[in-house]
Every structure is written in structure tokens, then in C-alpha cells.
Structure 1
């Protein structure tokens, strides 16, 4: 595998196959050019287009109409012009404020065989000098392994030189000024580290005072500016020297094309390294954002658990109070239908209040979870949480929360206690008075009842003896009244005690079912899922919103760093990657 293969593989991993395909198409087009391609670049208003027009006229070639000149920038896109054994590419001027256009210019230079960099007589500012230095030492294409251009493949031209001094007034003075300006440019580059790599600088007057401009039908003598000596301008305008330098490039097409290939792919590699560096920074920022989002979602999940625990506790407290209230207030002789109605009535208010309060809290928590930017891997949290909030829009009725089988189960468990309570209530309907005592003496059932009332046969016999004694004393009526009063009080107290015990057993029986009631309310039914289902789906929705794990980002960082190392090795291997 060649260094170029490594470089292309790394480019594919960093920038993608589409980007590599575009690069292949660009180089394939450049490689098929049958002539040496020379790019003309530089700041706008330096006379690049005028210079190309003059060179074409000097070669006796037609000047295309699109090569217009003017005081304002007139070249807004790259144009190619055939020039015999050469092809000239006129680039839009630098410094026009079109950042995208300038970036495209610098990125495209690597595919051309030679470059003519045209500057203004006022020379360049610091930024332009640094860019030019990048062309001189090769760092503009490959800062990791700068390769200066081949000899003669970079031509520096000071255009519109007649602006610094009119050559018509003093040709010798003009040439001296021109040579001084060229030396000044070369020294500026050397002072910035170019050393001996500075190429010769051509100072030219392509169209003195713009006397030809873009007038059609121009001939070589149209550019003469000494009226009495038609060819004298050639000794001072510098065009012949530049033409000779350009003509020397034509037979070197294969050599220059090979260097261009190296330069082109290394320039792409450098761009890919910059892109990879930005990708690593973006990846670090994305990882940090994922950590923050993961912490946020963990916090929401913890709050969701807390809300669930509080909701369950509050529901249990409400159900407990409701069941205890029914046990205290239900008539002990009530039938199942009446108890069912009282149970539902007692549960409705606390369950409705509980449900409205906690569902609103759940909605607010889910709304907070939805207020987050989508992540590439998981999509929008709203997509995951939306169904949960939609399911909570309609509060289910109590019948859905307290299904019939639950009430039936409550009554089934409370049946014995209700039966005992009903029996005591039945007894309590009898009037307590003397007739009870008198009946108890002779009636077997009454005797048994009175025995229970007085806690034993012995006490009953004592009461009867006392009654007989009182009768003997003819005070029977008074005795009956006394015994009836005493017996009635005893009976009432016993019935009250037994009724309280019956209610306590009823309360205990109902409260034993509290957990069942709470569980069934939380679970709901198949047709109307309850609170627990909403909590489960909310947890699942939060999990679906979770960003990738730290291991995911570390794997991406490791892979990208490995690709960068491969690319750096490919850019630094051998004399050229081809």
C-alpha cells in the first residue's frame, strides 16, 4: 500500500466517501489537461486580467469577451483561457470581502501546474505577505511537510508598475524604481523566513495608463507607449521576460503535473487534518454535553422515583383513612349494596384529589424532560415522552381505578364481621324492660339469654331467688322494675361493647386489604392503565432520550485519533505520496 493509498483511506474516514469522490473528479480533470495549466491569482485591482489579455495579444491569440477589465472587480469566477501550449486560469481577486471565494481560490491552487501571483506596486499587507510566503515555501499546501514549488513554477509579478513611476518620462528611472520594488518584495519574503526560496520577481506594465483596456481588436503594437519608437516599450514594460518564463513551463508539463499531484493530495490531507482537529473538538464538546444531559436525565429519573414513592404513600394514606371512615360510619345492619355504595363514596374524593395532584406533577416533570435538544442517536425526547403525556390527558374515573372485583373482595373479607355486627344490631332492636325479665324466667330461650346476660346460671338463680323473695314480700313489682333496669343497663353495655368489637373487626378486615386497594388503583385495568404504567413508560421514555455512553465517545475519539495519525504518517512519508 502506497502513502497515497493511506492518505486516501484516511481522507475517506475523516471527510467521507462523497468528499473523496469529488476530490478524485477534480484531480482526474486536472490530470487530463493536455497543456501546462498556469493559475493567475492575487489581490483585486492588480491587473491580472489585463496581464492575461496582453499575453494573449502578444501570442497572436484571440481575447475572449469574458476577460473584461475595469476599476471595480470584474472577475467573479474562475475562467480558463487557452494560450497555445499553456492554459491560463484567471481567478477572482483576493481581498474583495468574499471569504468563501478566497477560500475556494486557495483550495484550488494545488491542482495547477504553476502559479503567477500578481501584486500591486504598493505591495502587500501582512496577511497577504503571509499567504504569499505559504506559496513560496510550500506551507500553504502542506504545513506538516512543506515542499517549495519546482523552479520556475511560481512567478511573482508586480503589476501596473506604471503607477509608481511613468516609464515615458524616464525609462531608466522607471527600471531602477521597478528593480527596487522587486528587491523590496523579495526582502519582505526573506525577512519572514523564505530564505533562498524566493523566486525572481517580474515588474510589468501590461497596459500603460489603461490606454487599450478591453477594446477589441488590440494588436501587440497597440500597447506601445513611446510614439517615436514603436518597440521601445518592450525594453521597460517587462512583458517579454515574463513571456519567456511562461514559455519555459510548457515542455515541463509531466514534471510539473507530478508535483501538482503531490501538492493537490497533500493540500487535501492538510484540509482533512484541520477538519479532524475540529471534529475532535466537536466530539469533546458533544461528550461534555452528553455527560451534562445524562446527569440531567438521571436527576429527572431520580425525581420520578421520588414522585412515585410520594404518590404511593399519599394514596395509601388516603385509602386507609377512607376505609377506616367506612368502618366507623357504616350501619352494622347494612347490606352489601349499601356498603359498596359507601365504600365508593368514601374512596372517590381522596382518589380524585390524589390523581389530579400527582398527574399534574408528573406532567410538569415530563414537560421538563421534553425541553431538551434532540440528540443525533436518540431523536427528540418529545417523540419518546409524548405518548406518556398524551395518555395522562384524560383522568380515568373512579370505576376504572377501583374495579368491581376489588369492592367484592373487600366485602367478601368483611363478611363475617358484618354478619356479627348485623346480629348485634338485631338484638339491639329489642326493648329492654321488665317484660324481658319476666319472660326470661319461664322461657327456655329467654332463660339462656338471661344466663348470658348475667354471666352464668348461678347468678341467674340468685336473681330468681331474689325475685321470689321479693314476690313473697309482695314487692314483686318493685323487684321486677329494679331487675329490669339493672338487666337493661347490663344488656346495653354488653351490646355496645360487642358493637365496638364488631366495628374494630370490620375496620381491621378492611384495612388488611389496603395494600390490595392501593395496588389495584396504581395498576389500573387492561383497558385503563393506571399510575404505575405511566411511571414505567415515563422511565422508558427518559431512557430513550439518554445520549450515548462515555464509552461510545471514547471509541469515536480513539478511532478518529488513529486516523489522524495515519494521515500524518502518510503526509510525512517519502518524498511524495504518489
Structure 2
């Protein structure tokens, strides 16, 4: 195997290793294998649309005794819109639309035709390359296929032709010397153009030809060979036919270069797509960073909300207790009433305000889920990982805020009632039902316990959640009779104040009762805050989930990006083997 073939095989082997694009690579490889199976050289005729390509192909077919196809027309306008081919001898000629014709479809046809060919017949008018010079020279340098492709892989397979030389300004029969002079001038201009572009060696030509001297044949459908005889001595066709004839003797080298050019073009196309996709992945990863931070801020706001709610409840209860510290023997009953009303009103107002704040935060969260779903768009290339990351919505996303709405959005003035509504939404049964079912589990063990849990609660997790809510409900019960408890203590206080004990004893008892009230109030504050936090935790859980999901998806993208990077690094390493030859050729 030649060095060129070894590099080609190495590139195909690596290109096929990338999972997301393997199918496309195999399609390209199948195209190449079908091409390589032929034993006839494929020659692409290209150049600007008015260079005389059609006239030249027509002349070559007539010279080879091949009938001129109906699609081959000669015109000063653009007539070639497809890559049409015809076989003549040991060559297949392909008439292409040309490079950078201004039509995306035509350019794509030309690109595909030029990528898969053994040799090139580059035709230009007497003015040489007056437009699209950068594209033409880029093609000859190999950049059209890949920037690391050596020049010789293209110029070594190219025959350059300056056509329509009968229109160059000198009539050859009248001034043979003048014609030879203008041919020399055009040749020198052409060679200077290539040297300036850094393209040297290997290219055949330029051959100056006049395929249809004086346009005597034009669009005649099936011209006789003799019609071209008037210009045969100077039209340059013999030299061109000789150059074309030599291609067959160089079949193996040309076919090897064709394989390298094609795989290099595939590598360039794939690398470009992956680079674009990598940039898109970077943008998505940056978005997930912002989303992660957004949900982290949501959680911070929730923590602040909980802390503020705790302080607010403490303040309201302390304000209610201030009334009892000023109780005197003459207004004890009124003080007790004020305490009862102040305590109930304070807790109700705290409940309404705190849950209104929680409701607002929950609504913002729901809107965020709707407007900024955490999705990864890999449609352009697919997933390059071994397994896809889960992108199905969480339970919170599926249910929205239905569970929280059932208690928070209609939160009444009494926290205990709201807690019971929350429990019903969370476990699908009332606290009493949960308590009754938990009692039925008492004394059971082993399989009997497992079966009972499945029957009564469906899952162990739901049973444990129900148990937690029952315990909270028992603690929350203190909120119902709070006024009665305080009133009872107040009546004890009244009785003590009405005794004949000394003032010091009355003060001691007074302080003792106030301490008991403070202790009970602290317990009420703790229980109320705990119940409120249970509800807040149910919002914190999906916030945490979304934050972690954003991080997970960002890491997933970075992992895929790393795989793309590693693939491209190895691809470049293998392409450098071509580049080494290019540098050697340019030295």
C-alpha cells in the first residue's frame, strides 16, 4: 500500500469511530467504494461559464468518434446546470456548472462533482481568471478539499487549458508569429499567477487551444470531424489529446490522489459541522449555568422567606404576650380576652402574609418552568454519549404546582386547616384516615406488615410520609385550643391575685405564670414554623431538583463536547500526515 493510500485508510477508519456521524460517514464511504470499483478515469471539466468548456468537450467527443449528446449546447449564456457525463475512450468526461456560479444549487452540484474525480480539465478564457480567482486558486492549492491537503494532490491531477485562443486578438493564419507571441504571453501570465499563489510543479499546461476556430461548428448537432480541419495546425487540440492520453498510464497514482482528496473533503465537512455544533453546545452550557444560578437564587429567596416568617411570628406572639405582663387585679378578665384575640389574630395574620409570599415565589417558579424548560437540543448531530441523559419532566414539572395550590393558593386564616389541606393533597387522604391506617399496622411484622402497607398506602415511602404528617398534626393541635389554654392560665392568675397573700408572693406567682405563658408561646411558635416549613420544603425540593438538573445537563454537554474535541484532535493528528507532505512540497 502506498503512503497516500495508507493515509486515506487511516482517515476513513477514524471518521467511522464517531457514533453520531458514523452513518453519514459510511454513506460517503459507500460512494467512494462505488467510484473506486470503476476502471475508467473520471475527468471533471470546470471553469467560468464562458470559458468555452462546452465547445471543448464537443470537439473532444468528435475527435474520439463519440456522438454528441443532446444536452451539450454551446452558448454565451450559462447553459450547464447539472454535472452531466459521457464516456469517450478510456475517460469519462463530466461537464460541471463551475465554481462559485452564484447559484447555491449549482455550486453544490459542482462541489460534489469536483470532490469525486480522478483528474481535472481546467478551462479558462484568454483573459485568464478575471473573476472567482480566489476560489480557483484555493481549489488548486487543495483548500477546496482541506487546508492540509498537499498541492500536488490537485495540481498533479489537473490539466490547465486556455480556451478560445482564436479570440485572443491575433488571427493565427494571418500572423503565426504574432499568435505564438500571444500564446507565450498568456503562458507567462498564467505561470506568474500560480507562483504568486504559491502553487508550483505538477500541473500540466497551460495548453492554449481553440476548440472551435471561428465558431464554424457552433451548435451543429452531429458535426463531421473535417469541419475542424482549418485550424488543426494551430488549435492546440493535438497537444491536449496527448496530455489526456497520458492520464491512463498514471491510473494508480491518480486514483490514490482521488481517494485522499475525497476523504479529506469529508473530514473537512464533518469537522465544520462538529465545530458549529460545539459552539451551539457551548451556548447551551452557558444557558444551563444561568439556569442553575437562577434556581439557586430561588432557593436563597425561599430561605430568606422562611427566616423572615420565623422572625415575624415571634414578633407577633411577643406583642400579644405584652398585654398579659400588664395585668392588674382590676382588669384581669379584659387582659385575658385581649390576649386571646391578639394571639389568634397575630397567628392568622402571620399565616396569611407568609403564605402569600410563598405563593408569589411558587408562581414565579411555575412561570420559570414554563418559559425556560431545561432541554438540550442535539437534533443536528444526535447524542455522542454512550447513553442519553434523562430529559423527561420531573414529577414537579408534570404536576405543576397543583399540590401546593391546593393548600397555599387557597390558604385560609388558620394554619392548622391549611396544613390539613396540604396533607390531603400530598398523600391523597386526610390526617385522620392516615392515623387510622397507621394504627392498623401496629403489631404486624414481616410479610404481613409488607402486605398491609401495600394495601393501605401502596408504598413504604407514602406510609412514612403519612406517619410524618400524623405526628405534625398532633403537634399542631395546640393551635386550636390556644385561647382556652391561655384563658385557663389567666383564670389561675386571677385566683392567685385575689388571695390575701403578700405582694411578694403574688409577684412570684405572676412571674411564674408569665414564664409558663412564654414557654407555651415558644412551643406554639416552633410548631407553627415547623408546619410552615413542611410546606416550604415541598417547594424547595423541586427547586433543588431543577438546580441539580441544570448542573447535570451542563456536565452532560461538557462531556459530549470533550468527546468531540478528542475526536477532532485525533482527526487533526491524522490530517497532519497530509500536511507534512504539503509542507515538504512547498519547501
Q: Same fold per TM (> 0.5)?
A: yes
Q: Secondary structure in 1 aligned to 2:25?
A: helix
Q: Return 5+ residue gaps in structure 1 as ranges.
A: 225-230, 429-448, 456-489, 524-529
Out of 220, 223, 226, which is 1:218 matched to? 223
Q: Return 5+ residue gaps in structure 2 as ranges.
A: 325-330, 378-387, 421-472, 583-587
Structure-to-structure mapping, 1:42-53, within 5 angstroms: 42-53=47-58
Paired residues of 2:125 and 2:164 also in contact (CA < 8 A): yes
Q: What is residue 242 of structure 2 aligned with on the other side?
A: 244
Q: What is residue 482 of structure 1 aligned with on the other side?
A: none
- Is 1:422 matched up with 2:491? yes
Paired residues of 2:162 and 2:207 also in contact (CA < 8 A): yes
Once residues 121 and 138 of structure 2 are traced to their aligned partners in structure 1, the CA distance between those partners, rounded to angstroms, is 14
Q: What is residue 61 of structure 2 aligned with on the other side?
A: 56
1:464-514 Cα distance to aligned partner (Å, 9 max, x none):
xxxxxxxxxxxxxxxxxxxxxxxxxx9xx9989977864663343123221
1:410-455 Cα distance to aligned partner (Å, 9 max, x none):
4678877643423455799xxxxxxxxxxxxxxxxxxxx9xx5165
Distance 1:274 1:365, change over 3 A: closer
Once residues 298 and 115 of structure 2 are traced to their aligned partners in structure 1, the CA distance between those partners, rounded to angstroms, is 59
Structure-to-structure mapping, 1:84-233, within 5 angstroms: 84-98=89-103, 101-102=106-107, 105-106=110-111, 108-125=113-130, 128=133, 131-132=136-137, 134-135=139-140, 141=145, 143-144=147-148, 146=150, 148=152, 153-165=157-169, 167=171, 170=174, 172=176, 173-222=178-227, 224=228, 231-233=229-231
Distance 1:151 1:96, change over 3 A: closer
Paired residues of 2:116 and 2:258 also in contact (CA < 8 A): yes
Once residues 9 and 43 of structure 1 are traced to their aligned partners in structure 2, the CA distance between those partners, rounded to angstroms, is 37
Point out the more displaced range, 301-310 or 500-509: 500-509
Q: What is residue 521 of structure 1 aligned with on the other side?
A: 532
Q: What is residue 303 of structure 1 aligned with on the other side?
A: 297
Q: What is residue 285 of structure 2 aligned with on the other side?
A: 290
Once residues 156 and 533 of structure 2 are traced to their aligned partners in structure 1, the CA distance between those partners, rounded to angstroms, is 86
Once residues 417 and 110 of structure 1 are traced to their aligned partners in structure 2, the CA distance between those partners, rounded to angstroms, is 93
Once residues 125 and 59 of structure 1 are traced to their aligned partners in structure 2, the CA distance between those partners, rounded to angstroms, is 32
Once residues 322 and 133 of structure 1 are traced to their aligned partners in structure 2, the CA distance between those partners, rounded to angstroms, is 81
Q: What is residue 465 of structure 1 aligned with on the other side?
A: none
Once residues 19 and 146 of structure 1 are traced to their aligned partners in structure 2, the CA distance between those partners, rounded to angstroms, is 25
Paired residues of 1:121 and 1:181 also in contact (CA < 8 A): yes
Structure-to-structure mapping, 1:483-522, within 5 angstroms: 502=513, 505-522=516-533
Q: What is residue 356 of structure 1 aligned with on the other side?
A: 356
- Is 1:560 matched up with 2:558? no
Paired residues of 1:152 and 1:249 also in contact (CA < 8 A): no
Out of 384, 406, 411, which is 1:397 matched to? 411
Cα RMSD, aligned residues only: 4.4
Once residues 580 and 156 of structure 2 are traced to their aligned partners in structure 1, the CA distance between those partners, rounded to angstroms, is 25
Once residues 35 and 70 of structure 1 are traced to their aligned partners in structure 2, the CA distance between those partners, rounded to angstroms, is 29
The alpha carbon displacement at 1:408 in A equals 2.4
Paired residues of 2:156 and 2:202 also in contact (CA < 8 A): no
Distance 1:402 1:317, change over 3 A: farther
Once residues 259 and 83 of structure 2 are traced to their aligned partners in structure 1, the CA distance between those partners, rounded to angstroms, is 20
Q: What is residue 21 of structure 1 aligned with on the other side?
A: 26
Q: Which is greater in Rg?
A: 1
1:339-376 Cα distance to aligned partner (Å, 9 max, x none):
99986654233221222224324544665685488444
Paired residues of 1:388 and 1:538 also in contact (CA < 8 A): no
Distance 1:384 1:47, change over 3 A: farther
Structure-to-structure mapping, 1:423-438, within 5 angstroms: 423=492
Scaled by the length of structure 1, what TM-score is found?
Answer: 0.71
Paired residues of 1:167 and 1:236 also in contact (CA < 8 A): no
The alpha carbon displacement at 1:407 in A equals 4.8
Point out the more displaced range, 123-132 or 46-55: 123-132
Point out the more displaced range, 256-265 or 349-358: 256-265
Paired residues of 2:44 and 2:94 also in contact (CA < 8 A): yes
Once residues 28 and 238 of structure 2 are traced to their aligned partners in structure 1, the CA distance between those partners, rounded to angstroms, is 37
Q: Secondary structure in 1 aligned to 2:101?
A: coil
The alpha carbon displacement at 1:114 in A equals 1.6
The alpha carbon displacement at 1:273 in A equals 5.6
Scaled by the length of structure 2, what TM-score is found?
Answer: 0.70
Paired residues of 2:116 and 2:262 also in contact (CA < 8 A): yes
Distance 1:159 1:351, change over 3 A: same
Once residues 150 and 304 of structure 1 are traced to their aligned partners in structure 2, the CA distance between those partners, rounded to angstroms, is 61
Once residues 156 and 203 of structure 2 are traced to their aligned partners in structure 1, the CA distance between those partners, rounded to angstroms, is 11
Paired residues of 1:121 and 1:164 also in contact (CA < 8 A): yes
Q: What is residue 382 of structure 2 aligned with on the other side?
A: none
Once residues 182 and 122 of structure 2 are traced to their aligned partners in structure 1, the CA distance between those partners, rounded to angstroms, is 20
Once residues 161 and 579 of structure 2 are traced to their aligned partners in structure 1, the CA distance between those partners, rounded to angstroms, is 32
Aligned length: 498
Distance 1:32 1:400, change over 3 A: farther
Q: Secondary structure in 1 aligned to 2:401?
A: helix
The alpha carbon displacement at 1:543 in A equals 1.6
Once residues 22 and 349 of structure 1 are traced to their aligned partners in structure 2, the CA distance between those partners, rounded to angstroms, is 71
Q: What is residue 235 of structure 1 aligned with on the other side?
A: 233
Distance 1:101 1:379, change over 3 A: farther
Once residues 379 and 210 of structure 1 are traced to their aligned partners in structure 2, the CA distance between those partners, rounded to angstroms, is 69
Q: What is residue 548 of structure 1 aligned with on the other side?
A: 554
